[in-house]
Amino acid sequence: MDSHELQRILYVEDEPDIRAVAQIALEVVGGFILNVTASGEEALTTAEAFAPDLILLDVMMPGMDGPSTLLALREIPGLANTAAMFMTAKAQPQEIEHFKSLGAIDVIAKPFDPMTLSDQVRAIWQQHRG
């Protein structure tokens, strides 16, 4: 889990159109391997087997929202320390601090630029690993 590049991303987003755009941006532009799920509940069933390097979560979702999904994912032994980011329109400085206090390494602001999304995710991930 330590010295390799960012490759595997668990992505949770309820909006199908945004999910499709982000998936192309991350897979085609960024070359990442994705596990795309439409809800927190779905993510919980596949996360352990997928063993992601990074968890990327939408915040506002029906049912389990982003923060509660992250909380539940943390209960899975292999994911207790996996890096996590939120993607949200609520990206004011205070809101970013709040999400960091929930255990995210950073926040990606929506609307995101699909051409630079992968670079952004990679940069944050590398910065986090120091």
Partner 1 sequence: MTQPSKSQHNTTPQRPPDKAGPSTPESAKKEQVLEQALEQALEQALEISEARHSAVVNSMVDAVVTIDERGVIESFNPAAERTFGYLSPEMVGQNVSLLMSDTHRVQHDSYLKNHYRSGEKRVLGQIRELDAQRKDGSIFPIELAVTDLCIPGKRRFSAIIRDISGRREIERMKEEFVSTVSHELRTPLTAIRGSLGLVTGGVFGELPEKISALLQIANNNIERLLFLINDLLDMEKIESGIMDFVFQPQAVMPIVEKSVITYSGYAEQHNVRFEITGRLDAACINADAERLMQVMSNLLSNAAKFSPTNATVTISVARHEGQIRISVHDSGPGIPTDFHPKIFDKFTQANSSNTRQPGGTGLGLSIVRAIVHKHGGQISFVTGANIGTTFHVDLPEHHT
Report in angstroms how near the CB of residue 20 gets to partner 1 at its nearest. Answer: 8
Report in angstroms how near the CB of residue 117 gets to partner 1 at its nearest. Answer: 8
Sequence-separated (6 or more) residues with CB below 8 Å from residue 126: 6
Region for 4 from its dihedrals, namely left if φ exceeds 0, alpha if ψ lies in -120 to 50, beta otherwise: beta
Residues that bind partner 1 (CB under 8 A): 15, 17-18, 20-22, 24-25, 28-29, 60, 89-90, 92-94, 110-115
84/104 Cα distance (integer angstroms): 5
If we measure between CA atoms, which residue out of 47, 13, 26, 5 comes closest to residue 118?
Answer: 26
Give the residue with the Cβ less far from partner 1, 74 or 98: 98
Give the residue with the Cβ less far from partner 1, 48 or 113: 113
Give the residue with the Cβ less far from partner 1, 111 or 130: 111
Report in angstroms how near the CB of residue 124 gets to partner 1 at its nearest. Answer: 19
Give the residue with the Cβ less far from partner 1, 56 or 73: 56
Residue 44: C-alpha distances to residues 49, 55, 79, 110 (Å): 10, 11, 11, 24
90/83 Cα distance (integer angstroms): 20
Report in angstroms how near the CB of residue 60 gets to partner 1 at its nearest. Answer: 6
